[in-house]
DNA sequence: ACCTGAACACCGTTCAAGT
DNA sequence: ACCTGAACACCGTTCAAGT
């Protein structure tokens, strides 16, 4: 195959390769053919680039998947002011659902990413923080907000299990944010995490009691169903 | 490498290869190294068998994954009699949760399998049918049972989205059960499906209104949270 | 008729050789 | 210093050649 020109007027550089272009192309390919059909080689081909060129913008395929999830979280509508917590949460969750319907491969990828990484990306943290902020502004005390986030879990982003597992002794991740920056950027998340940690200061693990949270959510659901049943 | 013997007293045949042995080994390998580390070649190696030998017992890797999910569903405790619907559902869901904790790779696989297949395996159908049966026996009318199954969705088996998508015009699957067998083996499921179809006989699609179901579950959850908040 | 080794068309990623 | 082709160690699956 011949190049279009060998003169110094080179072929149009087709826009420089950027992280955003790589991630957007990856998302588009996954939308078309599912995540199984997604490969580094195919993304490169779609961008008219040699496979190795991608590695300048993403460390490896796992990090590419993290980046893709960030793109999706960015598609969720930002919270609206002045409408009350319930309307704000409801709109946000329905926006997240619309995003998931556009990208049916997303829940499975998010599920595996949440299990594989010790902690979520900053984009994900910002989403969770903003969601917590809505509950807090709506008059929910910290502990009920904590339960509420667990209850909403599977509806917030298509997760079925807990949002993020504990680091489980793997030690701090290399790309963890310093605590001060965490507190500054994600104040609601920090407040909640601090309250939870203080709550169980005498317990070994500083994380949530996942079993309790699961049963709390389950009982809330069963209560609701029972009420409907009794009401006819 | 030499064979242990060339005499007619052959090496112990290590138990004949069966579908169950293939699936159990696959589940064990996934438990150890995650689903990414699972390959046909590795399963074969663990069984001391040539890779192609597996294809006598599973059609391909996707069908292997379906079989693995069936193994997991089989680990959920059967329903208990004489305890009331609420206790029965609660125990069952908590048993499903324990299964998921034993196999952290399961939700992502179930998620992808539910999206890839047009309909669930008979084992999965039996699980869902039995769950519906508990609600019905507990006095829930069919339509409320329908909503309840959607509400419980993500807790029933770690699904986040709808349990199974509509066939979406792909036509009947080759391995679909004939309607009479469906009705005989899964009576509750059939009753519910019939009621739903009748409900929307004037609508084109015969499936559920997923959007309605999602909002129903969301509002049930929000009602419960609001009640707790108001109660202090 | 049954089984299986080699082969095919892929993968993600490394690395040394080019510019 | 930067970029990249070939190569490495894998995949799932086909298929023809063996018994």
Listing DSSP states for A8-38 in one string gives SSPPP--S---HHHHHHHHHHHHHHH-GGG-
Contact B108 A104 (CB under 8 A): no
Residue A18 has pLDDT above 80, yes or no: yes
Residue A90 has pLDDT above 60, yes or no: yes
Structural domain of residue A161, as residue ranges? 80-230
Predicted local confidence at residue B219, as pLDDT = 73
Cβ of A42 near strand C (distance < 7 A)? yes
**Token output for B107:** 């939700």
Using a CB–CB cutoff of 8 Å, tell me whether B225 touches chain A: yes
The reply to whether B4 falls in a domain is no
The reply to whether B205 falls in a domain is yes
Using a CB–CB cutoff of 8 Å, tell me whether B170 touches chain A: no
Residues in B touching A218 (Cβ below 8 Å): 90, 93-94, 155
Question: Which residue among A89, A97, A215 sits closest to B222, beta carbon to beta carbon?
Answer: A89
Cβ contact B159:A160 at 8 Å: yes
Predicted local confidence at residue B8, as pLDDT = 36
Question: Which residue among B112, B138, B220 sits closest to A224, beta carbon to beta carbon?
Answer: B220
Task: Describe the crossing of helices B61-73 and B19-33 by its angle, rounded to 10 degrees.
Answer: 80
Cβ contact A118:B118 at 8 Å: no
Higher pLDDT, A161 or A75: A75
Give the integer Cα–Cα distance in Å for A10 and B12: 69
Contact B215 A155 (CB under 8 A): no
Find the largest Cα–Cα distance for chain B.
81
Cα–Cα separations (whole angstroms), residue A34 to A104, B39, B63: 8, 20, 18
The reply to whether A42 falls in a domain is no
The reply to whether B31 falls in a domain is no
Location of structure tokens 């112990």: B12
Predicted local confidence at residue B165, as pLDDT = 37
**Token output for B157:** 């088996």
The reply to whether B139 falls in a domain is yes
Higher pLDDT, A142 or B10: A142
In whole angstroms, D3 C1' to A52 CA is 9
Where does A47-121 have alpha helices with state H? 61-73, 85-102, 106-116
- pLDDT tens digits, one per residue of A183-223: 776 677 677 667 656 665 544 445 655 556 666 666 776 77
- When divided into structural domains, chain A yields a total of 1
In A 120-149, which Cβ lie closer than 7 Å to strand C?
Answer: none
The reply to whether A113 falls in a domain is yes
With vertex at residue A140, the alpha carbon angle to CA A137 and CA A141, rounded to the nearest 5 degrees, is 115
Where does chain B have alpha helices with state H? 19-33, 40-46, 61-73, 85-102, 106-116, 122-137, 142-157, 179-185, 187-199, 210-230
The pTM assigned to this predicted structure is: 0.78
At residue B99, φ and ψ (nearest 5 deg) are -60, -45
Find the largest Cα–Cα distance for chain A.
81
Using a CB–CB cutoff of 8 Å, tell me whether A173 touches chain B: no
Neighbours of B93 (CB within 10 A): 21
| Per-residue confidence in pLDDT tens, chain B, 232 aa | 333 333 333 344 456 889 999 999 999 999 999 999 999 999 999 999 999 999 999 999 999 999 999 999 999 999 999 998 888 988 888 888 889 889 989 988 988 887 766 567 888 878 888 888 898 898 888 878 877 777 776 665 444 433 333 333 333 444 556 777 767 766 776 776 676 566 655 444 456 555 566 666 667 767 777 777 777 5
Q: How many residue pairs from chains A and B have C-beta atoms closer than 8 A?
A: 104
DSSP strand E in B70-203: where? Answer: none
Question: Which residue among B86, B115, B225 sits closest to A151, beta carbon to beta carbon?
Answer: B225
Location of structure tokens 């809505």: A134
Give the integer Cα–Cα distance in Å for B103 and B97: 10
Q: Which of A5, A9, A23, A17 minimizes the C-alpha distance to A49?
A: A17
The reply to whether A224 falls in a domain is yes
DSSP count for chain B of H helices, then E strands? 10, 0
In whole angstroms, C2 C1' to B12 CA is 21
Cβ contact B104:B50 at 8 Å: no
Q: Which of B229, B11, B81 minimizes the C-alpha distance to A134?
A: B229
In whole angstroms, C8 C1' to B188 CA is 48
The reply to whether B221 falls in a domain is yes
């Amino acid at each position: 195959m011949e190049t279009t020109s060998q003169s110094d007027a080179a072929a149009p550089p087709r826009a420089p390769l950027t992280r955003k272009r790589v991630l957007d192309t990856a998302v588009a390919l996954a939308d078309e053919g599912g995540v199984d059909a997604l490969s580094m080689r195919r993304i490169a081909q779609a961008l008219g680039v040699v496979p190795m060129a991608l590695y300048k913008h993403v460390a490896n395929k796992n990090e590419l998947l993290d980046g893709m999830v960030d793109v999706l979280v960015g598609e969720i509508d930002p919270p609206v002011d002045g409408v009350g917590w319930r309307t704000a949460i409801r709109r946000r969750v329905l926006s997240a659902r619309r995003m998931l319907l556009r990208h049916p491969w997303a829940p499975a990828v998010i599920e595996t990413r949440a299990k594989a990484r010790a902690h979520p990306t900053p984009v994900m943290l910002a989403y969770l923080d903003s969601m917590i902020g809505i509950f807090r502004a709506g008059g929910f005390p910290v502990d009920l907000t904590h339960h509420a986030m667990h209850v909403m879990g599977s509806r917030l982003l298509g997760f079925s299990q807990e949002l993020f597992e504990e680091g489980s002794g793997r030690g701090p991740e290399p790309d963890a944010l310093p605590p001060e920056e965490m507190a500054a950027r994600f104040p609601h998340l920090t407040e909640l995490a601090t309250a939870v940690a203080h709550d169980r200061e005498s317990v070994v693990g500083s994380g949530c009691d996942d079993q309790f949270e699961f049963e709390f959510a389950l009982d809330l659901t069963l209560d609701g169903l029972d009420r409907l049943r009794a009401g006819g």
